[in-house]
Homo-oligomer: A and B are copies of this chain.
Amino acid sequence: MPRPTFFNLQEEKQQTLLQAAKKEFTRVSLAEASIANIVKEADIPRGSFYQYFENKQDLYFYLLNEHLKEKREELITNLRKHCGDIFASIRDLLQSLLTEMEEEGTYQFYRNVFLNMDYRTEKAFMNLMNYNTLDKKYDLIKRLINRKSLNIDNEEELLQVVQIVSLIMTDNLIQKFGKEMTNEEVIHNYKTQIRLLKKGFAKE
C-alpha cells in the first residue's frame, strides 16, 4: 500500500502520478518498467517517489487493485441480475473485461498484466470474489450465490467451485494474450468449458 504521504497529496497530483504510472505499465511489464520514466512523466523528483511508495511493486499493485475494485462492484451487480448464477455472472464480467480491452491502451495494459501474472497478481484477481468493507469481510459467495442450482454438499465444495470458475476466467484471459485470440474465441472457450463443468467430466 502507498505510504500516508501519498494520500496527503492533493487529488490532482495523485492522479498525475497514477496516470504516469499507468502509462509506463501500459508500455511495458512490471519487471521492465522503470521508476525513472514514471517520475519523469509525472514531473516529480525521484526522492519524492519513495516518499509515496515503497517501490515499483507497491505502486503497481495499488493501481491494479484500484482497477479491480470497479470490477468487483460489477460482479456484484451481475450476481444480482442473474439471481446468483455464478457462471453467467462471471461470463458477463469476462465479456466486460474483453470489451474494455478493445481500447488500445487498455489492451496493452492488461496484456502486460496477464502475461506476467505471478501469485500476487493471481490473488488480486481471485479476490474479486471477496469484498472487504471496513474491518469486516463479507463473503460475496455466501451472500449472493444461488446454491440451489449447484451440485454441492457443503461449504468446502462451494468454495472450490468458485475457485475453479475464477481460475478458468483468469486462464482464458491469459490465453487470449498468449495466443492472441479474438474476444469471440475467448468467450466461445469459456462457454465450452462451463458447459463441460456443469454437465460433469465423467460419463453417467
What is A's interface to B at a CB cutoff of 8 Å? 31, 87, 114-119, 122-123, 148-152, 156-157, 160-161, 163-164, 167-168, 171, 174, 177-178, 189, 192-193, 196-204
Given known A123-B178, A167-B167, contact A198–B200 (CB-CB < 8 A): yes
A57 to chain B, nearest CB (A): 11
CA distance A164 to B52 in the complex (A): 41
Q: Name A195's closest neighbour in chain B (CB-CB).
A: B157
**A193: min CB distance to chain B, Å:** 5
Residues of B within 8 A of A87 (CB): 201
Establish whether residues A196 and B118, one from each chain, have CB atoms under 8 Å apart when the complex forms. Answer: no
Is A157's CB under 8 angstroms from B192's CB?
Answer: yes
A113 to B149 alpha-carbon distance, docked (Å): 38
Name the residue of chain B whose CB is nearest to the CB of A156.
B192
Across the two chains, which residue of chain B brings its CB closest to A149?
B203
Query: Told that A164-B197, A167-B167, A200-B200 touch, could you supply 14 new A-B pairs with CB distance under 8 A?
Result: A117-B117, A118-B118, A148-B203, A150-B202, A150-B203, A151-B203, A160-B192, A161-B196, A161-B201, A163-B193, A164-B164, A164-B196, A197-B200, A198-B201
